[in-house]
Amino acid sequence: MRYPKVSECVDVFEALWPPALAESWDSVGLAVGDPDAQVRSILLALDPMDAVIAEAVVLGADLVFNHHPLMLKPVKSVNAATLKGGAVHTLISNDIALFNAHTNADSARGGVSDVLISLLGIEDAEPLVPHAHQATAGSELNTGIGRVGNLETPTAVRDLARTLSDRLPRTTTGVRIAGDPAATVTRVAVCGGAGDSLFDEVRASGAEVYITADLRHHPATEARDTANRHGGNPQLIDVSHWASETVWLDTAARELEAAFTARGLTVALQHSAVNTDPWVERY
């Protein structure tokens, strides 16, 4: 067993979460780092916030693996006095690489939405929005954004919300219901992270309840008005963006450990202790 190079880590990441699965608007892959540098320790985190990068420095990590990209939008400068430039300078000056798998990790099997829906006991979910490239390679079969599947037994919406509250990390914003908490549902759709752009797909899937994050007032009220004109579904459950996605990191770590071992490589995997949910109090 030997330590991998950054380039070998990228090979492992991209085998698990192929960049071809990323949405066209997304930014995924190696953002910072020397492909030939050795990696002894990887820090896994959801967000590339300054606190996470500082944690990587203190822990002596050689690579930070994030879900969300540091530079989703183009930047014109990496001036150390700017937010993004400062992060890049800190990473480079401490010989730390930065890689992210975003919508490719949402789309891949075993990804963010698979883990979210599995909290409700659904293990055979299908993509809510199948990926256009899924037929081009066996590794991309049955991939896409969101998931939809059936519960073993009909369940009240409020009981699903309580299960999510118990199984997701505790957050200030908690778990919220729009619709009828007492409604009994069987077919469930989920989208880890912000999913209020997928209401048409949710309705087409026949889902009776939709679980996602960051639901805004107007999309939620319009979705409920539309539902009330067509039998009342889907009911809505809104969860924390951070909570809906951070639960995936445990699965990602297990997949990474197995993949590195299969290649004869050894690397320490550490979970960030930084909670990057921005909301800290509610009154």
> Using 50, 70 and 90 to split pLDDT, how confident is the model at 142?
confident
pLDDT band at 98 (very low <50, low <70, confident <90, very high): very high
Is 88 a residue whose pLDDT tops 80? yes
Separation of alpha carbons 70 and 62, rounded Å: 17
**pLDDT tens, residue by residue, 190-239:** 999 999 999 999 999 999 999 999 999 999 999 999 999 988 999 999 99
Whether residue 197 is found in the same domain as residue 141: yes
Residue 276 lies in a domain: no
Number of domain units in the chain: 2
In this model, does residue 158 exceed pLDDT 60?
A: yes
Say how many Å lie between the first and final Cα of the chain, rounded. Answer: 53
Q: Is residue 112 part of a domain?
A: no
Same domain, 56 and 154: no
234 in the same domain as 161: yes
State phi, psi for 34 to the nearest 5 degrees.
-95, 115
Mean pLDDT over residues 30-49, rounded?
98
Mean pLDDT of the chain: 95
pLDDT 10s digits, 173-182: 999 999 999 9
Contact status, residue 29 vs residue 100, Cβ threshold 8 Å? yes
pLDDT above 80: residue 133: no
Q: What's the gap between Cα 242 and its chain centre? A: 8
Task: Identify the domain containing residue 71 by its residue range.
Answer: 6-102+247-271
Report how far apart, in Å, the C-alpha atoms of 274 and of each of 32, 170, 184 are. 21, 14, 37
User: Pick the residue with more confidence: 141 or 132?
Assistant: 132
Q: Where are the alpha helices (DSSP H) in 101-230?
A: 103-107, 112-118, 157-167, 199-205, 217-228
